[in-house]
Amino acid sequence: MLNNYSNEDKVLLAVDCIIFGFEKDQLKILLIKRDFEPEKGKWSLIGGFLKKNETLDQAGNRVLKHLTGYDNIYMEQFNAYSEVDRDPVDRTISVSYYALINIETHSALEEQYAAQWFAIDDIPKLIFDHDIMVKHALNRLRYRATHKPIGFELLPEKFTMKQLQKLYESILNTKLDKRNFTSKINGLDILVKLEEKDMNSSRKGSFLYMFDETKYKKKVEEGFTFKI
């Protein structure tokens, strides 16, 4: 058992947050412009360093609020990156998180923040190994979409079946059959069909839906296999 750490190597520990949102039928990611060297002025994930008096989750929430103004966002830890030369300044290990948020209810980024939403298909080149982190986060999100319901965190409170299908298509990066998708979603028994209609989609309009929060959370806990 070690009783003296003085001779052990010291390394920096960072947290990087991959924040996903959905808007105008597009899956998007939130990025910031780095305001210090190295790579100053280039696009980056939202990240920072762990302080001695906080947990990784606390660090992630602190960094997110400091750089975007967002607070109380649920984030899930999903990977760690420890390549020796991943940061040119110092030996740094990064623990990554991903989060799903509704852009509509988090649309007001204050002017002091250089945060910006980008469509997944239009992400600029990112610093260090952040491109790899995004790729891994997308893979995790796609896996989740086939094993747990997706949408409660990304869609507005009321939405059409078409919006929900577009969300799945943008995450899975594939076109889905309308009848098959609707049948599978209804089979999960997590939607409440409303009497209201969205009259912007067609002359007849499209019925609006809401998630049954209790059933949704239960299905998240239980999981399922959602084969498209």
Q: Which CATH number covers residue 48? A: 3.90.79.10
Report pLDDT digits (tens) over 151-160. Answer: 999 999 999 9
> Is residue 5 assigned to a domain?
no
Whether residue 179 sits in one domain with residue 130: no
Find out whether 125 and 131 touch, Cβ atoms under 8 Å. yes
Residue-level pLDDT at 96: 97
Whether residue 214 sits in one domain with residue 173: yes
Q: Which sign, positive or negative, has the C-alpha torsion 53, 97, 71, 32?
A: positive
Report pLDDT digits (tens) over 31-83. Answer: 999 888 999 999 999 999 999 999 999 999 999 888 888 887 888 999 999 99
> Is residue 4 assigned to a domain?
no
Phi, psi of 100 (to 5 degrees): -120, 125
Output Rg (C-alpha) for the chain, integer angstroms. 20
Of 71, 63, 73, 69, the residue nearest 113 (C-alpha): 69
DSSP 58-119: HHHHHHHHHHH---S---EEEEEE--TTSSSSS-EEEEEEEEE--GGGG----TT--EEEEE
Whether residue 96 sits in one domain with residue 172: no
Residue-level pLDDT at 41: 92
Residue-level pLDDT at 111: 56
What is the side-by-side order of every strand in the sheet holding 191-198?
159-160, 206-211, 191-198
Residue-level pLDDT at 144: 92
Pairing status of strand 92-100 against strand 12-23: parallel
Residue-level pLDDT at 134: 98
Residue-level pLDDT at 36: 87
Residue-level pLDDT at 7: 86
> Is residue 3 assigned to a domain?
no
Q: State which amino acid sits at residue 152.
A: F
DSSP state of 218: H
DSSP state of 125: P
Question: Which range of residues forms the domain containing residue 183?
Answer: 159-222
> Is residue 37 assigned to a domain?
yes
* pTM of the model as a whole: 0.90
Residue spans of the chain under pLDDT 70: 1-3, 107-113, 228
Rounded Cα distance between 31 and 91, Å, is: 23
Whether residue 113 sits in one domain with residue 17: yes
Rounded Cα distance between 120 and 138, Å, is: 9
Q: Which CATH number covers residue 179? A: 1.10.10.10
Rounded Cα distance between 32 and 126, Å, is: 10
Around Cβ 50, how many Cβ atoms within 10 Å?
20
Q: Name the burial class of residue 193, with classes exposed (0-12), middle (13-18) and buried (19+) by CB atoms within 10 angstroms of its CB.
A: exposed
> Is residue 228 assigned to a domain?
no
Whether residue 80 sits in one domain with residue 121: yes
Domains held by the chain: number = 2
**What's the distance, CA 9 to chain centroid?**
33
